[in-house]
Amino acid sequence: MTDSDLDRLEHRISRVLKTGVALSCATLSVGLVLWLFDVPGHEWLLRAGLVILIGIPVSRIVASFLDSVRRGDRLLAWSTAIVLTTMAITLLYTITA
Amino acid sequence: MIARMIAAALWTLVAGTVAGAFGVLLGIGGGVFLVPFLNLVLDLPMHGAAGVSLVTVIATSSVASASLPRLQLVNLRLGMLLEVFTTTGGLLGVFLVNQVDDRSLRLAFGTVMALTAVVMLARLRRRNVLHRDTDPGTLGGRFYDPETGDHVTYRLVRMPVAFLASFVAGVVSMLGIGGGVLKVPALNAWCGVPMRVAAATSSLMIGATAVVGAVNYFVRGQVDAHLAAAAVIGVLVGARAGRALGERTNVRGLKVLMAGVLLFVSALYFYRAMR
């Protein structure tokens, strides 16, 4: 991985993490405030905020996978693919168990 | 009923703030403080407490790794390779936590708390840095070292140890903690990774590991969304405060105190599990 490749990947990951945290925090905060005032729909917002939060590392790994495939970095591509598969297996196991 | 739930959420917000601050100050994450609060004080079942805590682990991992200076310390290739082992360990952990009862989880958590206290006190800090012109190998790296004022190199050694430590950390993380307390000392003491790189790399990895557990608890309806939201916001505020405090606090004295607290809580868990 060259320095410019690494630099681009770091910026991409940083952007994914910052956007995800900001979005999830905003959704959770609004959900909590609506709950305090007993506004209907707050439960949905809270759950959406948690789903966004859980999705942040997944998005980061997807971004890394796409980047490594584009660069032909086999080690990183296989590692990220296995991690994503493990996450998918967990979801399937949890739903079906 | 609603008033009690709001009170619980407010207390969780406060506890999350404290857990986030201490987690950052001591470098062990907030889970070891948050899980006992949710389980012993709010009387949440262990599965529910671990689920809420894992959601906060994702938040702290994402925030800590989002800053570019911190991200530049992360060894992305090593981190993503080790994530294979932490997440597969996490998958085994998910399978195990779904088979065992609350009492067994309490015993396991008490054991991990005691281990965390010991590791926190005994943590070695090896420099593990080589001359900048040394070849870092496939999984090593280079970074700017403020102590030498120059770029330095490090090489990964004893790879199987790093894989094993990551796998075990993944299993253990299903108790609601990040697992960095096992990975970071192992990478630093045995695998040739400098402490700052090991901590930053682990910090990024724990987010992915926590996803595996969080998905399990969330889909099974064991995560209370109100408490989780309060905990996430509290932990994020606390982590920010912890970073600011860390620059002017004697962390060594605090570590001894917190190790004592962890040992006390560990004993409490054993006592409750045995009753």
Q: What SS3 string covers chain B?
A: CHHHHHHHHHHHHHHHHHHHHHHHHHCCCCHHHHHHHHHHHCCCCHHHHHHHHHHHHHHHHHHHHHCHHHHCCCCHHHHHHHHHHHHHHHHHHHHHHCCCCHHHHHHHHHHHHHHHHHHHHHCCCCCCCECCCCCCCCCCEEEEECCCCEEEEECCCCHHHHHHHHHHHHHHHHHCCCCHHHHHHHHHHHCCCCHHHHHHHHHHHHHHHHHHHHHHHHHCCCCCHHHHHHHHHHHHHHHHHHHHHHCCCCHHHHHHHHHHHHHHHHHHHHHHHHC
pLDDT winner (highest mean) among B146-160, B161-175, B257-271: B161-175
A94 with B229: Cβ contact below 8 A: no
Taking the CA atoms of B163, B164, B166 and B167 in sequence, report the sign of the dihedral they define: positive
pTM of the model: 0.91
At B152 the pLDDT is 87
Phi, psi of B138, deg, nearest 5: -65, -40
B236 touches A at CB < 8 Å: yes
> Which pLDDT belongs to residue B80?
93
3-state SS, one letter per residue, for chain A: CCHHHHHHHHHHHHHHHHHHHHHHHHHHHHHHHHHHCCCCCHHHHHHHHHHHHHHHHHHHHHHHHHHHHHHCCHHHHHHHHHHHHHHHHHHHHHHHC
Compute the radius of gyration of chain A from its Cα atoms.
Answer: 17
CA distance B256 to chain A (A): 33
In this predicted model, what pLDDT tens digit does every residue of B77-111 receive, in sequence order? 999 999 999 999 999 999 999 999 989 999 999 99
Contacts of A83 in chain B (CB under 8 A): 80, 83-84, 87, 208
Q: How confident is the model at residue B138 (pLDDT cuts 50, 70, 90)?
A: confident
Percent of chain B with pLDDT over 90: 47
The confidence score (pLDDT) of residue B123 equals 65
Residues in A touching B208 (Cβ below 8 Å): 57-58, 60-61, 83, 87
Distance (Å, whole) CA B141 – CA B154: 6
Residue A1: its chain B contacts at CB < 8 A? Answer: 76-77
Assess B98–A contact: CB distance below 8 Å, yes or no: yes
Which B positions 44-63 lie with beta carbon below 8 A of chain A?
A: 55, 58-59, 61-63
Q: Please tell me the predicted confidence (pLDDT) of residue B267.
A: 92
Residue B154 contacts residue B136 (beta carbons within 8 Å): yes
pLDDT of residue B143: 86
User: Closest Cα to residue A47, out of B9, B11, B228, B56?
Assistant: B228
- Name the residue with higher pLDDT: B19 or B228: B228
Verify whether the Cβ–Cβ distance A54 to B232 is below 8 Å.
no
Are A82 and B76 an interchain contact pair (Cβ–Cβ within 8 Å)?
no
- B138 in contact with chain A, both atoms CB, cutoff 8 A: yes
Question: Average pLDDT for residues B66-79, to the nearest whole number?
Answer: 86
Question: How many angstroms separate the CA of residue B135 from the nearest CA in chain A?
Answer: 14
A57-66, B20-29, B34-43: range with lowest mean pLDDT: B20-29
A36-93 pLDDT, tens digit each: 998 998 999 999 999 999 999 999 999 999 999 999 999 999 999 999 999 999 999 9
**What's the rounded Cα separation, in Å, for the pair B19 and B8?**
16
Compute CA B41 distance to the chain's CA centroid, rounded to the nearest angstrom.
21
The rounded distance, in Å, linking the Cα atoms of B166 and A35 is 39
B231-253 mean pLDDT:
80
Answer yes or no: is pLDDT of B28 > 80: no
The reported pLDDT for the residue numbered B20 is: 86
d(CA A9, CA A25): 24
Candidate from B59, B83, B230 with C-beta closest to A53: B59
Confidence of residue B250 (pLDDT cuts 50, 70, 90): low
Q: Is the CA virtual torsion B15, B20, B21, B27 positive or negative?
A: positive
Q: Average pLDDT, whole number, for chain B?
A: 88
Token code pair at residue B223: 């995560």
Which residue did the predictor score with more confidence, A88 or B113? A88
Q: In chain B, which among 163-192 make CB contacts under 8 A with chain A?
A: none
pLDDT for B29 beyond 80: no
Interface test with B, best of A32, A38, A61 (most B CBs within 10 A): A32
Residue of B nearest to A59 (CA): B208
Q: Which of A86, A89, A96 to mutate to test the interface with B (most CBs of B within 10 A)?
A: A86
**CA of B27, closest CA in chain A: separation in Å?**
20
Give the C-alpha separation, B216 to B228, whole Å.
15
Return the closest-CA partner of residue B187 out of B164, B208, B216, B214.
B164
Q: How far is A1 from chain B (nearest CA, A)?
A: 9
Q: What is the pLDDT of residue A6?
A: 78
Residue B42 at interface with chain A, using a CB cutoff of 8 Å: no
Read off the pLDDT of each residue in B178-194 and give the average, rounded to a whole number.
Answer: 86
CB pairs under 8 A between A and B: 147
Yes or no: say if B227 and B52 are a contact pair by the CB < 8 Å rule: yes
* Mean pLDDT within B62-80: 86
